[in-house]
């Protein structure tokens, strides 16, 4: 069924009894052309673009739990393409362009809202760095504006401008950045893929890969063996654990990142605002809750929950930036597992095992990349060549010294 | 998390800085014939287990000792804490 205003009226007049389920719940077949491991945003987007753009019919997505239960439902919903380095910026801008046409494309309301992303700077050196980044963005055809303190004050008068320690000197604004309703992204891609023939198989965990003579023949799952000509793994925080089943060690550590939502408040924060003197970012959802987060906890974890020191650190950042939020009550907090790579940038590449492909290392920036990640992984799976915007995301960049290190932190995953 | 320091007793993990997998103690020999491959493994590749993990913590706001902590990455339970110096010496390192 195609969703439309007409359908809403029609279903309203017939008691909303005709909607039907948005995707099927099929039994796994014994064989597929392509099996995607991981029914998160990236896996579902990959399946969607495989079916839509590359006309691959026999595709399955295998998910351990339920779709949308992992990081695609746990992030702080921010989209942006404000990167500096050439390996990254064209890819993230491609993702932004896909976001801009996404809802029409997959016929689902994902509430893509380009309300702007504002990064604040607090020192002259930081402003210089932002000017450089803005120039890098503009050279790649991306919108970027450098605001002075007055410009920031017009947008967000409630900020703590005159803090003696961290006065706000200005900010880097990407007007086309914003937020997206993250659950709807998973659901939209799932529905779009399903309607094009992709089998989405939930509650089906991959327990091993069947590999003979260096070729991956299929996956062993809790619901039996599934043969596949190609297997694509897109499991984010579980990358290390899943690829270990294929005997691979990755340039990745898994870390926990926490996120927070306050009680619903009247509209106050116009877009996404990030603090430059600490690690704190905040936006306001359409329901009114302040959605915010900060640093990862900093130690290896698969626990999907963090500890209190980082909660305190994030709240200190928030209080320092906008003291008014001290009166707001915290409603919910949770953790997700991030696949932190050695240079802070992702990997979309073949592995040394024939027929086995990998998509991961998204650190804590995977949500904004969802559409382009899906498209580029689909391109790689369908054509065996990297998509033009993702040629830098190779496994061998670490061996060859071609790291894409936006923050310049080196091989220390908990600092990216 | 509370880290039971072998010399100082239970200390809050906030006093520590985290480095990563305890295999980082075993720095390869730079003069080995395959030093390039060994350093690639050492520097970039990780086991990243879901379960028991031996890892290096530095007591930066304490006695500045390096510790090898064995911790479960699924539950955050810490099962043993050793001085990294003792671990390295047990492997035959002089310092």
Mean of pLDDT values over A149-166: 95
pLDDT for the residue B94? 75
Mean of pLDDT values over A236-248: 97
Which of A284, A307, A341 marks a domain boundary? A341
Closest CA to A214 of A347, A349, A37, A356: A356
Residues A242 and A188 in one domain: yes
**Which pLDDT tens digit goes with each residue over A216-226?**
999 999 999 99
> Are the beta carbons of A337 and B76 closer than 8 angstroms?
no
| A57 pLDDT more than 90 | no
Q: Which helix (DSSP H) or strand (DSSP E) does residue A128 occupy?
A: helix A124-139
Residues A352 and A244 in one domain: yes
* CATH number reported for the structural domain that contains residue B10 in this entry: 3.30.2270.10
How many Å apart are CA A66 and CA A40, to the nearest integer? 9
The answer to whether the Cα torsion of A200, A204, A208, A212 is positive or negative is negative
Residues A273 and A151 in one domain: yes
Give the domain range for residue B24.
Answer: 2-90
Tokens of residue B43, six digits: 């520097």
CB environment A209-218: b (16+ within 10 A), e (fewer): bbbeeeebbb
Neighbours of A308 (CB within 10 A): 10
A214 in any annotated domain: yes
A147 in any annotated domain: yes
Residues A90 and A201 in one domain: yes
> Are the beta carbons of A413 and B20 closer than 8 angstroms?
yes
Test the A interface: residue of B48, B52, B53, B69 with most A CBs within 10 Å: B48
How many Å apart are CA A343 and CA B17, to the nearest integer? 19
Q: Do B50 and A252 touch (CB under 8 A)?
A: no
What is the band of A56 on the pLDDT scale with cuts at 50, 70, 90? confident
Q: How many domains does chain B have?
A: 1
Residues A186 and A171 in one domain: no
Residues A37 and A172 in one domain: no
pLDDT for the residue A133? 97
A22 in any annotated domain: no
Q: Do A254 and B73 touch (CB under 8 A)?
A: yes
Which 8-state DSSP code applies to residue A415? G
Which of A321, A341, A361 marks a domain boundary? A341
pLDDT for the residue A129? 97
Q: Which of A251, A300, A302 sits opposite B45 (nearest CB)?
A: A251
Q: Which of B14, B21, B73 sits opposite A309 (nearest CB)?
A: B14
The nearest alpha carbon in chain B to A250 belongs to B45
**Which pLDDT tens digit goes with each residue over B27-81?**
999 999 999 999 999 999 999 999 999 999 999 999 999 999 999 999 999 999 9
**ipTM entry:** 0.96
Any idea which residue has 């990780």 for tokens?
B46
* CATH number reported for the structural domain that contains residue A241 in this entry: 3.50.50.60
Q: Which of A244, A302, A412 sits opposite B73 (nearest CB)?
A: A302
pLDDT above 70 covers what percent of chain A? 100
| H-helix segments, A140-227 | 149-155, 182-195
**A 251-310 near B (Cβ less than 8 A):** 251-254, 298-303, 307, 309
B95 in any annotated domain: no
How many Å apart are CA A128 and CA A146, to the nearest integer? 10
Closest CA to A56 of A29, A28, A36: A36
Residues A125 and A104 in one domain: no
Residues A169 and A65 in one domain: no
| A332 pLDDT more than 90 | yes
Closest CA to A321 of A176, A199, A161, A178: A161
Q: Do B73 and A301 touch (CB under 8 A)?
A: yes
> Are the beta carbons of A80 and A99 closer than 8 angstroms?
no
> Are the beta carbons of A303 and B76 closer than 8 angstroms?
yes
> Are the beta carbons of A219 and A226 closer than 8 angstroms?
yes
pLDDT for the residue A314? 97
> Are the beta carbons of A186 and A111 closer than 8 angstroms?
no
Tokens of residue A139, six digits: 């050279």
> Are the beta carbons of A168 and A161 closer than 8 angstroms?
yes
Which of A309, A325, A341 marks a domain boundary? A341
B12 in any annotated domain: yes
Which 8-state DSSP code applies to residue A266? -
| A47 pLDDT more than 90 | yes
Q: Do A249 and B45 touch (CB under 8 A)?
A: yes
How many Å apart are CA A132 and CA A356, to the nearest integer? 39
pLDDT for the residue A138? 97
Residues A151 and A260 in one domain: yes
The nearest alpha carbon in chain A to B21 belongs to A300
Residues A60 and A45 in one domain: yes
* CATH number reported for the structural domain that contains residue A309 in this entry: 3.30.9.10
| A43 pLDDT more than 70 | yes
Closest CA to A259 of A214, A225, A213, A306: A306
Angle at the Cα of A253 (from A187 to A260), degrees rounded to 5? 50
| A132 pLDDT more than 90 | yes
Spatial CB neighbours of B95, under 8 Å, sequence gap ≥ 6? B88
Give B71's contacts in chain A (Cβ within 8 Å): 299
Q: Do B71 and A241 touch (CB under 8 A)?
A: no
Give the domain range for residue A329.
Answer: 117-176+254-341
Mean of pLDDT values over A151-161: 96
**Which pLDDT tens digit goes with each residue over A358-382?**
999 999 999 999 999 999 999 999 9
B21 in any annotated domain: yes
Q: How many domains does chain A have?
A: 2
A15 in any annotated domain: no
| B95 pLDDT more than 70 | no
Q: Do A240 and B13 touch (CB under 8 A)?
A: no
B78 in any annotated domain: yes
Spatial CB neighbours of A322, under 8 Å, sequence gap ≥ 6? A158, A159, A160, A282
| B92 pLDDT more than 90 | no
The nearest alpha carbon in chain B to A302 belongs to B74
Residues A261 and A404 in one domain: no
B31 in any annotated domain: yes
3-state SS of A44-72 is HHHHHHHHHHCCCCCEEEECCCCCCCCHH
| A349 pLDDT more than 80 | yes
Residues A200 and A311 in one domain: no
A218 in any annotated domain: yes
pLDDT above 90 covers what percent of chain A? 98
Spatial CB neighbours of B9, under 8 Å, sequence gap ≥ 6? none
3-state helix, strand, coil in chain A (%, to 5): 30, 30, 40
How many Å lie between the alpha carbon of B88 and the closest alpha carbon of chain A? 21
How many Å lie between the alpha carbon of A171 and the closest alpha carbon of chain B? 31
pLDDT for the residue B70? 98
Give A300's contacts in chain B (Cβ within 8 Å): 20-21, 48, 53, 55, 73
**Which pLDDT tens digit goes with each residue over A271-281?**
999 999 999 99
How many Å apart are CA A267 and CA A299, to the nearest integer? 36
B32 in any annotated domain: yes
């Amino acid at each position: 069924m195609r969703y439309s205003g007409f359908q809403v009226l029609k279903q309203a007049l017939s008691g909303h009894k005709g909607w039907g389920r948005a995707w099927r719940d099929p039994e796994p077949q014994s064989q597929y052309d392509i099996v995607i491991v991981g029914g998160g945003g990236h896996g579902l987007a990959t399946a969607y673009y495989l079916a839509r753009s590359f006309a691959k019919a026999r595709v399955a997505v295998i998910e351990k739990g339920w779709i949308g239960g992992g990081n695609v439902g746990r992030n702080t919903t921010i989209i942006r393409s404000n990167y500096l380095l050439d390996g990254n910026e064209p890819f993230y801008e491609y993702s932004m362009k896909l976001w801009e046409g996404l809802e029409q494309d997959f016929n689902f309301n994902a509430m893509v809202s380009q309300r702007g992303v504002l990064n604040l700077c607090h020192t002259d050196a930081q402003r210089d760095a932002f000017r450089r980044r803005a120039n890098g963005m503009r050279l790649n055809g991306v919108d970027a504006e450098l605001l002075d303190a007055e410009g920031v004050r017009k947008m967000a008068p409630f900020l703590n401008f005159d803090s003696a320690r961290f006065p706000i000197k200005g900010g880097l604004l990407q007007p086309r950045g914003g937020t997206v309703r993250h659950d709807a992204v998973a659901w939209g891609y799932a529905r779009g893929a399903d309607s094009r023939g992709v089998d989405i198989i939930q509650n089906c965990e991959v327990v091993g890969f069947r590999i003979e003579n260096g070729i991956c023949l299929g996956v062993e799952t809790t619901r039996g063996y599934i043969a596949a000509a190609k297997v694509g793994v897109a499991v984010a925080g579980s990358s290390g654990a899943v690829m270990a089943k294929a005997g691979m060690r990755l340039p990745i550590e898994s870390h926990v990142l926490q996120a927070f939502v306050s009680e619903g408040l009247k509209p106050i924060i116009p877009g996404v605002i990030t603090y430059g003197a600490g690690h704190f970012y905040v936006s306001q959802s359409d329901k009114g809750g302040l959605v915010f987060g900060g640093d990862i906890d900093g130690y290896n974890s698969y626990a999907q929950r963090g500890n209190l020191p980082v909660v305190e650190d994030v709240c200190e950042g928030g209080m320092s930036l906008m003291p008014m939020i001290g009166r707001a009550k915290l409603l919910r907090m949770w953790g997700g597992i991030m696949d932190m790579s050695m240079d802070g940038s992702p990997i979309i590449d073949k592995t040394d095992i024939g027929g086995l492909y990998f998509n991961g290392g998204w650190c804590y920036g995977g949500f904004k990349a969802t559409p382009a990640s899906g498209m580029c992984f689909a391109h790689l799976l369908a054509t065996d060549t990297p998509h033009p915007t993702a040629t830098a995301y190779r496994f061998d960049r670490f061996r060859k010294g071609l790291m894409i290190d936006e923050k310049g932190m080196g091989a220390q995953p908990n600092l990216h | 998390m509370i880290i039971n320091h072998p010399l100082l007793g239970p200390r809050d993990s906030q006093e520590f800085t985290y480095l990563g997998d305890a295999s980082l103690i075993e720095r390869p020999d730079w003069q080995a014939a395959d030093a390039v491959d060994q350093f690639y493994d050492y520097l970039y590749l990780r086991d990243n287990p879901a379960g028991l993990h031996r890892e290096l913590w530095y007591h930066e706001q304490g006695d500045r000792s390096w510790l090898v902590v064995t911790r479960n990455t699924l539950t955050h339970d810490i099962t043993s804490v050793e001085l990294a110096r003792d671990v390295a010496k047990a492997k035959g390192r002089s310092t």
